[in-house]
């Protein structure tokens, strides 16, 4: 079902899983059209969640400080644009993050100080219950989705506990899909987007058996197209969804909905796709995950996620 020349057609398909018997609707958070859940003198932050992950989208000014005390597990920071710059303090060490970049911050106490303002994302697992309750869509996840596999973190990184920062501007390469980085809890696909509307005859509808996709719109306008399976119990059917949403926003796409996202703005349309935990099928492709040497895969790689993005 992928579009023409889509590298994901080369992914390995996992063993079939039991058919779903009920379904979760997609959840959307239009940050541009809602008040932030947290405001300070230097920062405005919106929170939205799925079953496994929390998206914290912030507009920050010079001097903003964002802290996590007693953080339970590793989290990610994304700077989507050139020009922003942060200092990340952890266990007496300071790491600088600037331009388009991804960082993974260990559990424990950490402090982020903004040197040059802009947009930033922090990505947490829903084990951070204090943040989960702030999410604008928290009510949608009071009951867990039975189709989402139980969250299990991946192994700790090689070389011990420290902040790891990676450039989000690594050039593309023939045969490599996207710009993928993984930590022990989260995988980020840092794409460049495309200018102009996506051709209606070259979309990529696909599904996931047991994990969510978090599609964070950074620029442009999108229609997220979703369709759920029909099962014998017609009372549990869900209508097709064609959600028109602009940037900045997040769409939480549940399994096993068939989905594809269509950029429709005349200018830049750009998504950041995120998965929690990391995707095994992407990780199994040699060279696709740019920091694979620092973040090992689980020892038992036979229990893979399904192969669709």
Task: Tell me whether residue 10 is in a domain.
Answer: no
What does the alpha-carbon distance between residue 300 and residue 309 come to, in Å, rounded to a whole number?
21
Task: Tell me whether residue 24 is in a domain.
Answer: yes
Collapsing DSSP to helix, strand or coil, 236 comes out as: helix
Task: Tell me whether residue 302 is in a domain.
Answer: no
Give the DSSP H or E segment for 96.
strand 93-98
Q: Residue 207, Cα to own-chain centre: how many angstroms?
A: 16
Range of the domain at 74: 17-283
What does the alpha-carbon distance between residue 194 and residue 173 come to, in Å, rounded to a whole number?
17
What does the alpha-carbon distance between residue 60 and residue 45 come to, in Å, rounded to a whole number?
8
Task: Tell me whether residue 253 is in a domain.
Answer: yes
What does the alpha-carbon distance between residue 174 and residue 170 come to, in Å, rounded to a whole number?
13
Reference 152, options 124, 184, 120, 176; nearest CA is 184
Tally of structural domains, the chain: 1
What does the alpha-carbon distance between residue 41 and residue 102 come to, in Å, rounded to a whole number?
25
Task: Tell me whether residue 1 is in a domain.
Answer: no
Is the previous residue joined to 225 through a cis bond, with omega within 30 degrees of 0? Answer: no
pLDDT for 12 equals: 60
CATH for 274: 2.60.120.10
- Decide if 274 contacts 183 (C-beta within 8 A): no
Task: Tell me whether residue 208 is in a domain.
Answer: yes
What does the alpha-carbon distance between residue 194 and residue 203 come to, in Å, rounded to a whole number?
13
Collapsing DSSP to helix, strand or coil, 105 comes out as: strand
- Which residue intervals of 63-213 are DSSP H helices? 129-132
Per-residue tens of pLDDT for the chain, all 309 residues:
555 565 655 566 555 567 888 999 999 999 999 999 999 989 999 999 999 999 999 999 999 999 999 999 999 999 999 999 999 999 999 999 999 999 999 999 999 999 999 999 999 999 999 999 999 999 999 999 999 999 999 999 999 999 999 999 998 888 888 899 999 999 999 989 999 999 999 999 999 999 999 999 999 999 999 999 999 999 999 999 999 999 999 999 999 999 999 999 999 999 999 999 999 999 999 999 999 999 999 987 645 444 444
Reference 220, options 268, 260, 273, 261; nearest CA is 268
Report field, pTM of the whole predicted structure over 0.75: yes
Task: Tell me whether residue 195 is in a domain.
Answer: yes
What does the block give as tokens for 43?
A: 């920062």
């Amino acid at each position: 079902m992928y579009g023409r020349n889509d590298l994901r057609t080369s992914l390995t398909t996992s063993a079939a899983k039991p058919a779903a018997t009920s379904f979760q609707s997609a959840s959307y958070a239009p940050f541009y059209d809602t008040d932030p859940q947290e405001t300070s003198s230097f920062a405005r932050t919106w929170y939205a969640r799925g079953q496994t992950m929390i998206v914290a989208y912030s507009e920050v000014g010079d001097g903003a400080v964002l802290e996590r005390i007693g953080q339970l597990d590793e989290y990610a920071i994304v700077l989507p644009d050139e020009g922003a710059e942060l200092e990340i303090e952890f266990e007496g060490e300071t790491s600088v993050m600037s331009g388009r970049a991804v960082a993974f911050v260990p559990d424990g106490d950490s402090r982020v100080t903004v040197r040059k303002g802009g947009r930033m994302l922090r990505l947490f697992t829903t084990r951070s219950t204090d943040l989960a309750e702030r999410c604008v869509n928290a009510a949608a996840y009071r009951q867990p989705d039975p189709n989402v596999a139980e969250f299990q973190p991946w192994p700790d990184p090689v070389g011990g506990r420290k902040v790891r920062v990676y450039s989000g501007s690594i050039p593309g390469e023939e045969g490599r899909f996207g710009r993928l980085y993984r930590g022990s809890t989260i995988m980020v696909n840092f794409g460049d987007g495309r200018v102009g509307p996506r051709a209606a005859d070259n979309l990529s509808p696909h599904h996931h058996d047991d994990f969510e996709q978090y599609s964070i719109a950074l620029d442009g306008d999108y229609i997220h197209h979703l369709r759920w399976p029909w099962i014998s119990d017609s009372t549990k059917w869900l209508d097709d969804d064609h959600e028109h949403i602009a940037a900045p926003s997040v769409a939480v796409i549940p399994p096993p909905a068939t989905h594809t996202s269509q950029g429709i703005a005349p200018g830049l349309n750009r998504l950041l796709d995120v998965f929690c935990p990391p995707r095994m099928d992407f990780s199994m492709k040699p060279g696709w995950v740019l920091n694979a040497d620092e973040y090992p895969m689980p020892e038992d790689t036979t229990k893979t996620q399904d192969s669709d993005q």
